[in-house]
């Protein structure tokens, strides 16, 4: 066991971990931040996306020990300070960007990373950016629409409702 | 996953020392190794993380005009920082996997793994790059030794990769839609003294140079120059995503598209 210390959602967090402890396991099982989902064993679904030092990473494909000293942001920190939904989250609700919601934490974290890098993406850029986020329910159109809406763009001409 | 220790050295010298421990293995971005460990297909007792080694990260031009990339540099950084110097290579890096994979996965890890469908091996072979390790320098032509096989010794670290910069180049990737890897990918690079063509995703022997196409394109750098050239499907990977003949055909198509798009 080694001790890891990091900043999670702006607060100091620490715990004893094994070498093999994944960042996703540390967040979910030791910090009880279960908003970060784990949907696969193959690093392909993106349900576990969090931000490490401001960059989107798959928390299931990084060891907790590698996050020593890092700033980690999870879906739990995405709402506004007063508890209301952030612009991206509200857009997912308004445009029906989720059904079962399993993929949604990763979708929102990826969307936030995209809009930070590219505040007004085209529809194609949104679709390409989400290549590593799989959704079994929605068929993606409304997720894309929500992200376009969150970026302040007109979404009336985007496919499917 | 079986358990293991994690070492986080901050210099190449300390990493080499840590790799001297029994059953130690380097950990790059973990984008291949961690899923492999989850399946218990590997059981190292120590993982030596390379991503905290500053001297193994970054992109710069050398005095003799080559592009040098640290072995622990993530794909996303190459996509951004190599764009001015070697656009064909930066474009390749920007299409590996997805954004989260590109933020962690490294060039050294990709070249050490030498997946038969990976993208960087095509760029390294197609550019005639030099793979620099903690022990020696290896020419790309000698480095790749078949599927998942390289000239690296156990525990040897890819610390840097040096790319001669071509006049024009392009990587054309036919994406396997489930994995995002290359079903077939072709890297074409035109240098002052000739053209190199490297093919990934297709052969049972891993990345290879298509020498007939190199000869044809060296005398006439136009998509039509490869008309009439054909590879045999017999030596190609055949799986549920495509037969050997299909892949052999795709190599020709991707080569033409790469030539047409080369900048
Ligand atoms: C969803 C997904 C999609 C992907 N799509 C693509 C794609 O389209 N194209 C593509 O090319 N790749 C793709 N990859 C693979 C990705 O590029 C990996 O990052 C890469 O293959 C391995 O690099 P890594 O730094 O993550 O290495 P790791 O996973 O850490 O290590 C891989 C192997 O290399 C060894 N190693 C690592 N670094 C070094 C080093 N510096 N020196 C010596 N040995 C080292 C390790 O011991 C291990 O054996 C994808 C991966 C995922 C999860
Ligand atoms: S749980 Fe991380 S990619 Fe699927
Ligand atoms: S809403 Fe169910 S997986 Fe995306």
pLDDT tens for chain A, 161 residues long, are 899 999 999 999 999 999 999 999 999 999 999 999 999 999 999 999 999 999 999 999 999 999 999 999 999 999 999 999 999 999 999 999 999 999 999 999 999 999 999 999 999 999 999 999 999 999 999 999 999 999 999 998 776 54
Query: Which residues lie below 8 Å from residue A29, measured CB to CB, with a gap of 6+?
Result: none
Query: Which residues lie below 8 Å from residue B94, measured CB to CB, with a gap of 6+?
Result: B75, B76, B79, B102
**Structural domain B5-48, CATH architecture:** 2-Layer Sandwich (3.30)
ipTM of model: 0.96
CA of B33 to the centre of ligand 1 (A): 7
User: Measured from the CB, is residue A43 less than 6 Å from ligand 2?
Assistant: yes
Q: Of all protein residues, whose CA lies closest to atom 36 belonging to ligand 1?
A: B109
pLDDT in tens, A150-161: 999 999 877 654
In chain A, which residues have their Cβ closer than 8 Å to the Cβ of B76? 55
Q: In this complex, do A66 and B3 lie within 8 Å of one another by their Cβ atoms?
A: no
Q: Would you kindly state where each structural domain of chain B is located, as residue ranges?
A: 5-48, 60-164, 168-262
Residues in B lying within 8 Å of A, measured between beta carbons: 1-6, 8, 27, 30-31, 34-35, 37-39, 47, 49, 51, 76, 97-101, 103-104, 179-180
Alpha helices in A95-140 (DSSP H): 104-117, 123-129
User: Measured from the CB, is residue A98 less than 6 Å from ligand 3?
Assistant: yes
Q: In this complex, do A58 and B6 lie within 8 Å of one another by their Cβ atoms?
A: no
User: Measured from the CB, is residue A28 less than 6 Å from ligand 2?
Assistant: no
For testing the chain B interface, which of A46, A57, A115 should be mutated: the one with the most B CBs within 10 Å? A57
CA of B178 to the centre of ligand 1 (A): 17
In chain A, which residues have their Cβ closer than 8 Å to the Cβ of B100? 46, 49, 56-58, 61, 110, 132
Q: Could you tell me the strand order of the sheet in which B158-164 lies?
A: B59-61, B66-70, B158-164, B130-133, B137-139
B234 CB burial (10 A radius; 0-12, 13-18, 19+): exposed
What is the three-class DSSP state of B255?
A: helix
Backbone dihedral region for residue B202 (phi beyond 0: left; psi -120 to 50: alpha; all else: beta): alpha
Q: In this complex, do B8 and A65 lie within 8 Å of one another by their Cβ atoms?
A: yes
Q: CATH for B60-164?
A: 3.30.465.10
Q: In this complex, do B98 and A57 lie within 8 Å of one another by their Cβ atoms?
A: no
B4-27 exposure pattern, b = at least 16 Cβ within 10 A, e = fewer: bbbbbbeebeebbebbeeeebbbb
- Rounded to an integer, what distance in angstroms lies between the CA atom of residue B246 and that of residue B202? 9
Closest chain A C-alpha to B46 CA, distance in angstroms? 9
The two structure tokens encoding residue B158: 């890819």
> How far lies B175's CA from each of A84, B180, B182, B185, in Å?
40, 6, 5, 8
User: Looking at the partner chain, which of A20, A22, A44 has a beta carbon nearest the beta carbon of B4?
Assistant: A20
Which long-range CB contacts under 8 A does B221-224 form with residues at least 24 apart? B221/B190, B221/B195, B221/B259, B221/B262, B222/B259, B223/B256, B223/B257, B223/B259, B223/B260, B224/B256
Q: H or E element: which one contains B173?
A: strand B168-175
Q: Which 8-state DSSP code applies to residue B151?
A: S
Ligand closest to Cα of B30 equals 1
pLDDT in tens, B235-260: 999 999 999 999 999 999 999 999 99
Q: Of all protein residues, whose CA lies closest to atom 45 belonging to ligand 1?
A: B109
> How far lies A80's CA from each of A48, A87, A104, A144, B137, in Å?
21, 9, 17, 22, 53
The two structure tokens encoding residue A72: 């980690």
Contact, B29 vs B51, CB < 8 A?
Answer: yes
Nearest atom within ligand 2 for CA of residue A43? 3
Query: Which residues lie below 8 Å from residue A114, measured CB to CB, with a gap of 6+?
Result: A121, A125, A126, A129, A130, A147, B99
Nearest CA in chain B to A19: B5
Residues in A lying within 8 Å of B, measured between beta carbons: 2, 18-20, 22, 41-44, 46, 49, 55-58, 60-63, 65-66, 68, 110, 113-114, 129, 131-133
pLDDT in tens, B161-179: 999 999 999 999 999 988 8
Q: What is the CATH topology of the domain spanning B168-262?
A: Enolase-like; domain 1 (3.30.390)
Contact, B232 vs B223, CB < 8 A?
Answer: no
Whether the pLDDT of residue B261 is over 70: the answer is yes
Q: Domains for chain A: give ranges and CATH numbers.
A: 2-76 (3.10.20.30), 87-150 (1.10.150.120)
pLDDT in tens, B188-205: 999 999 999 999 999 999
pTM of the model: 0.97
Ligand closest to Cα of B104 equals 1
- Rounded to an integer, what distance in angstroms lies between the CA atom of residue A59 and that of residue B203? 33
CA of B74 to the centre of ligand 1 (A): 10
Nearest atom within ligand 3 for CA of residue A99? 1
Contact, A111 vs A127, CB < 8 A?
Answer: no
- Rounded to an integer, what distance in angstroms lies between the CA atom of residue B99 and that of residue A49? 10
pLDDT in tens, B62-105: 999 999 999 999 999 999 999 999 999 999 999 999 999 999 99
Strands (E) in A39-157, as ranges, are 49-52, 55-58, 71-73
- Tokens 């078949």 sit at which residue? B146
- Rounded to an integer, what distance in angstroms lies between the CA atom of residue B211 and that of residue B228? 14
Count CB atoms within 10 A of the CB of residue A18.
Answer: 16
């Amino acid at each position: 066991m080694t001790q890891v210390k990091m900043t999670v959602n702006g607060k100091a967090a620490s715990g004893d971990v094994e070498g093999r402890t994944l960042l996703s396991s540390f967040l979910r099982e030791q910090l009880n931040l279960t908003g970060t989902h784990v949907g696969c064993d193959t690093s392909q679904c993106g349900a576990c996306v969090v931000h490490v030092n401001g960059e989107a990473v798959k928390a299931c494909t990084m060891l907790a020990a590698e996050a020593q000293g890092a700033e980690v942001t999870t879906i739990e920190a995405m709402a506004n300070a007063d508890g209301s939904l952030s612009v991206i989250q509200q857009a997912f609700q308004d445009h029906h960007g989720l059904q079962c919601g399993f993929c949604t934490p990763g979708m929102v974290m990826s969307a936030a990373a995209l809009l930070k890098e590219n505040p007004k993406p085209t529809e194609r850029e949104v679709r390409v950016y989400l290549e590593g986020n799989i959704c079994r329910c929605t068929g993606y159109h409304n997720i894309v629409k929500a992200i376009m809406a969150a970026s302040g763009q007109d979404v009336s001409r985007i496919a499917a409702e | 996953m079986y358990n293991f220790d994690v070492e986080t050295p901050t210099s190449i010298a300390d990493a080499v020392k840590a790799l001297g421990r029994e059953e130690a293995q380097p950990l790059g971005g973990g984008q291949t190794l961690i899923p492999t460990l989850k399946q218990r297909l590997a059981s190292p007792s120590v993982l030596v993380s390379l991503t905290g080694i500053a001297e193994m990260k970054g992109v710069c031009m050398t005095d003799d005009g080559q592009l040098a990339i640290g072995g622990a540099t993530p794909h996303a950084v190459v996509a951004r920082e190599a764009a001015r110097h070697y656009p064909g290579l930066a474009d390749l890096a920007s299409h590996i996997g997805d954004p989260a994979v590109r933020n962690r996965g490294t060039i050294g890890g990709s070249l050490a793994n030498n997946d038969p469908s990976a993208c960087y091996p095509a760029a390294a072979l197609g550019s005639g790059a030099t793979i620099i390790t903690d022990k020696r320098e290896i020419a790309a032509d000698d480095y790749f030794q078949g599927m998942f096989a390289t000239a690296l010794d156990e525990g040897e670290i890819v610390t840097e990769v040096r790319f001669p910069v071509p006049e024009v180049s392009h990587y054309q990737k036919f994406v396997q839609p489930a994995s995002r890897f290359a079903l077939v990918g072709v890297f074409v690079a035109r240098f002052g003294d000739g053209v190199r063509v490297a093919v990934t995703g297709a052969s049972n022997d891993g990345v290879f140079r298509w020498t007939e196409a190199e000869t044809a394109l060296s005398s006439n750098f136009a998509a039509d120059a490869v008309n009439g050239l054909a590879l045999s499907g017999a030596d190609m990977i055949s799986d549920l995503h495509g037969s050997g003949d299909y892949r052999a055909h795709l190599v020709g198509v991707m080569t033409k598209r790469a030539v047409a798009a080369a900048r």
